[in-house]
Amino acid sequence: MEKVLVIDDDSLVRHTIVRILERKGYQVLVASDGVRGLRMFRSEQPDLVITDIIMPEKEGIETIREIRGDCPDARSSPFRASAASATWTSSRSPRN
């Protein structure tokens, strides 16, 4: 089963995304901010990260950059970052 890490400070958004993904058969991990999300990524090594961009403690883009810097294998992992007014997606691998 593929693991998806959802990082969002809005509990309603987290809950909604978790319900959708679980219905599709994914194992879902949850964090309420970038600091917790980074810890969760390091311990669980998810297949996909979905993160909010603007959060307390550590913002989404900063979290993605830190994950990629600390975990060389994560450079080929897909990320999806979004906010109410913006979306950023990366599926590049180190070879691209």
Closest Cα to residue 20, out of 44, 52, 57, 50? 50
pLDDT, tens digit, 9 for 90 and up, residues 9-33: 999 999 999 999 999 999 999 999 9
Number of independent structural domains in the chain: 1
Residue 53 has pLDDT above 60, yes or no: yes
Residue 73 has pLDDT above 50, yes or no: yes
Residue 93 lies in a domain: no
More confident residue, 5 or 67: 5
For the chain, the average pLDDT equals 82
pLDDT, tens digit, 9 for 90 and up, residues 34-47: 999 999 998 998 98
Q: Which domain holds residue 41?
A: 3-87
- What CATH number has the domain bearing residue 45? 3.40.50.2300
**Model-level pTM?**
0.78
Residue 34 lies in a domain: yes
Phi/psi at 30 (5° precision): -130, 140
Residue 95 lies in a domain: no
Predicted local confidence at residue 64, as pLDDT: 85
The SS3 of residue 81 is: strand
Residue 92 lies in a domain: no
CA distance 84 to 96: 29
Residue 69 lies in a domain: yes
